[in-house]
Structure 1
Amino acid sequence: MGQDVDHRSEYDLSGSPRRGLVMATLSFFAGLTTIAFYGVAGPTFQEALGISGALLGLLLSSPHISKVLLRVPFGAWVDDIGARKPILILMGTTLVGFVGLVGTLFLFYPDNFGSHLYVPLLVFGILAGAGSATFSVGIAQTSYWFPEDKQGFAMGVFGGAGNIGPGIVNSVIPFLIGVAGLALAYSSWLVFMLAATALYFAYGANPYYFQLLDKGLDSDRAQSVAEDLGQEVFPGGGTWDSLKESSTNYWTWVLVFLYTVSYGGGFTALTTWYPTYWNLFHGMSLAMAGLFAGVFVVYGSLVRIPGGSLSDRFGGENVAAVSFAVMVVGAAIATVSQAVIPAFVGMMILGTGMGVANAAVFELVPKYVPDAVGGASGWIGGIGGAGTLLVLPILGVFVDVYGEIGYARGFVVIAGLSAICVAVSVLLKFYGPEPAEEIDESAMH
């Protein structure tokens, strides 16, 4: 302990694993709210703009475009310079998109609001969506702050608490729109984003290794000092080295697939889809539909926390296999449900499986790609997040083909993909790599 104190004072280091986790979670919590940037008020924007369902779908997807494009390079960039600068750039870009939308609403809504504003609104959505890329950055930052035996817990807290944001937005913003109007509702959201960015600027700190590099130490000395302070996970190289190394590791792509189904094509797709599903299929008001969707998001997010601890205890492969099986059950119920109560039950079962599966997948990252955690997190978060852009249109096609009942029948897609993931997770149990610490212990005996 004395050596830790000496190192911290000698090199004027700041932060701690707990503070690093809190700040990373705050940035992700705020940044991820942007995936619901337009979806939370989708019917309102469609009516005000006078656009088709296809154009509305594109508008709803606009924040996901920047999420997909930015998660890979920004996640890998952490391996080069740490997370502080990437997070501040992403949050700053998000603020530009918010300011653009809020300004447009005050200037044009409702009297001069129309299809001529569609392209600018698309651009604002893409800019605002940059904040959701804090996911891959925060995953890498959290990995470097915590020892290997605490990865599941840390990832569960980060992903669980961080993912609550869209659920709160889905619940609160429709209410604010009804009380104060569209412009003021989005203005309150902008104030929150400004506050979150300011807090991260004031208290966000890189893990010790990156702070030491900034102070001029070479990588070997920086790693030695950081190890004395308790850091166990270190980057194998810079940004492009991390991307290259993780991309050539086939385990990265297995985890990408699992995450695509559980998160990008599962959790975030349904986060955007459920407000419309409850509103148009079950006839709920926009506020009530948002509340139901918010319950799904908050619950599915919080369950990641025990999901991470379960992964630490029982192994990510085992927990992933069980959680994907739970997703099959939930999706099957949703597929055949036309009444509110069974549909709600199916939604909650889906939230359970998706939340735990998300935690399980990222518990496996340091084990399967130990030398390029940032790069792997970028690929997984970026490409895995792209599942939203694929699944949402497919769900829409089911409605076009089958009519109103298509809102339910579309869940068969999630059921089928989840069943494949069960098989993949079981195979990982038998053919995945052994943890390095277990190999070392066996060698000692």
Structure 2
Amino acid sequence: MAETQASSAPGTPTQAAVPPDLRGGMFQVILATLASTAGFWAWMAISPLQNIYATQMGLSQGAVSLMLAMPVLVGALGRIVVGAMTDRFGGRKMFTFVLLAGVPAVLLVALAGAIGSFGLLVIAGFLLGVSGTIFAVGIPFSSAWFPPARRGFANGVFGMGMIGTAVSAFFTPRLANSIGYLNTHFLIAGVMVVMAVLVWFFMRDSPAWTVSRQKLVPKVTGALKLLITWEMSFLYAIVFGGFVAFSTYLPKYLMTIYPDEVDPIGAGTRTAMFAVAAVIARPIGGVLADRFGPKVISLLSLAGVVAAAYVVGQQPAEGVLTGIVFLLMAAAMGLGMGAVFAWIGPSTPPDKVGAVTGVVAAAGGLGGYFPPLVMGATYHAESNSYSLGLWLLVLVGALALVVAGMLRDARAPKPQK
């Protein structure tokens, strides 16, 4: 009895105190990043070919905006459910599920375009939104593979899966021209199936991850009761929402404002460059947030977004200046995305990270849902201008800058040596 009591005395090392073995975490996060890339490619499958749909189906500005916004809406709201389910079932199962669930949607998009049905295309876009929920799987999965002080880095690396938007913008129109419209969608679906197989056989959940048995509704409700959820949701709606909105609407914007200078392939190339700039900046934002604090990096990010949006709103002539400004805007958004999720980790109870991530990611997706609709509704045909919609971005970004300045900073504790 004495030995038992001594072994359980305070301060005595026990098996439960042994830290989990996180070796191999970088491989797992990279695999998750590749899975996210496939998911984002599918999620953005409609946008690069929007000009084909608009011409073939005779779509108005409003109809194009609705077509582009539909996958974003479902991808946003679905993240709440998928984030909470990841806490329950783990990243391996949820990555596999989301990838396979997106395959029928991609094939339905192909069918809708082949028969020229706008109604079916909207329904397909709705279902395609499932692929966009993949982000809510990867954040809690990646966070669990790294100690708190390096989670900004881990989430930044995983966030590079957004490169799928660049892959879609750059390759989808080119593939449609070279191998055909239907074969392009068959290829996207095939990539998702292959990625799902790789995930199932090679991915494993972190030893630090524990199953959450809490039911979905109480879990999401619990996340909504946390102030950090609402604070980060607002900021993420600006930085990630802006990224999604421009990733989907930029081809339409460029071909409308600069019809003589930009063709569909050129618009896709510029959109891909926009996405790449944000992807590169995202892990940098996470690393800088780990070092200097997420608040400072968020403020820099939002200031950059406001400044770039103001310049774009002046509609400068197509050329080097326009390209640089859009790249700077994308980089600012990427820094902010990395900073926001570095902010969540140290500020959120471990058992609620998935649920909070899902809500914040959903807010980011919703932030990308409304701007295309606003841009379509505020377009001034006589002056060929989207300036009103861009001014709204300036005002909202300025408000977010003030809000971020009022928030309390958060940093993960540094590991003791």
TM-score, scaled to structure 1: 0.83
Once the 2 structures are TM-superposed, how far is the Cα of residue 129 of structure 1 from its aligned partner? 2.1
Q: Is the 8 A contact 1:37 1:60 kept in 2?
A: no
Q: Say which SS state the counterpart of residue 208 (structure 1) adopts.
A: coil
Q: Is the 8 A contact 1:57 1:393 kept in 2?
A: yes
Once the 2 structures are TM-superposed, how far is the Cα of residue 188 of structure 1 from its aligned partner? 2.2
Change in Cα spacing, 1:248 to 1:365, as seen in structure 2 (3 Å) is same
Q: Does 1:254 align with 2:262?
A: no
Q: 1:279 aligns with which of 227, 232, 255?
A: 255
Change in Cα spacing, 1:102 to 1:317, as seen in structure 2 (3 Å) is same
Q: 2:345 aligns with which of 356, 361, 366?
A: 366
Q: Is the 8 A contact 1:63 1:125 kept in 2?
A: yes
Q: Does 1:305 align with 2:283?
A: yes
What is the match of residue 182 of structure 1?
181
What is the match of residue 10 of structure 2?
none
Q: 2:53 aligns with which of 45, 52, 59?
A: 45
What is the total number of aligned residue pairs between the two structures?
A: 397
Structure (1/2) with the larger helix percentage: 1
Q: Is the 8 A contact 1:79 1:239 kept in 2?
A: no
What is the match of residue 5 of structure 2?
none
Q: Does 1:135 align with 2:135?
A: yes
What amino acid maps onto 1:199 in structure 2? L
Q: 2:240 aligns with which of 245, 254, 263?
A: 263
**Cα deviation digits, residues 367-426 of structure 1 (max 9, x gap):** 222331111100001122111221111111221x36454234532222211111211221
What amino acid maps onto 1:262 in structure 2? V
What is the match of residue 147 of structure 1?
147
Q: 1:379 aligns with which of 359, 367, 375?
A: 359
Once the 2 structures are TM-superposed, how far is the Cα of residue 240 of structure 1 from its aligned partner? 4.2
* TM alignment of 1:295-444, pairs within 5 A: 295-341=273-319, 342-371=321-350, 372-399=352-379, 401=380, 403-428=382-407, 431-432=408-409, 437=413
What is the match of residue 267 of structure 2?
289
What is the match of residue 229 of structure 1?
none
What is the match of residue 125 of structure 1?
125
TM-score, scaled to structure 2: 0.88
What amino acid maps onto 1:88 in structure 2? T
Q: Say which SS state the counterpart of residue 157 (structure 2) adopts.
A: helix
What amino acid maps onto 1:139 in structure 2? I
What is the match of residue 12 of structure 2?
none
Q: Is the 8 A contact 2:302 2:333 kept in 1?
A: yes
What is the match of residue 196 of structure 1?
195
Unpaired runs of 5+ residues, structure 2, are 1-14
Q: Does 1:170 align with 2:169?
A: yes
Once the 2 structures are TM-superposed, how far is the Cα of residue 315 of structure 1 from its aligned partner? 0.4
Change in Cα spacing, 1:177 to 1:435, as seen in structure 2 (3 Å) is closer
Once the 2 structures are TM-superposed, how far is the Cα of residue 237 of structure 1 from its aligned partner? 5.0
Once the 2 structures are TM-superposed, how far is the Cα of residue 151 of structure 1 from its aligned partner? 0.7
Once the 2 structures are TM-superposed, how far is the Cα of residue 209 of structure 1 from its aligned partner? 4.4
Stretch moving more, 48-57 or 372-381? 48-57
Change in Cα spacing, 1:236 to 1:326, as seen in structure 2 (3 Å) is farther
Change in Cα spacing, 1:293 to 1:436, as seen in structure 2 (3 Å) is closer
Q: Say which SS state the counterpart of residue 292 (structure 1) adopts.
A: helix
Distance in 1, matches of 2:30 and 2:167, equals: 18
Q: Does 1:58 align with 2:66?
A: yes
Distance in 2, matches of 1:35 and 1:100, equals: 13
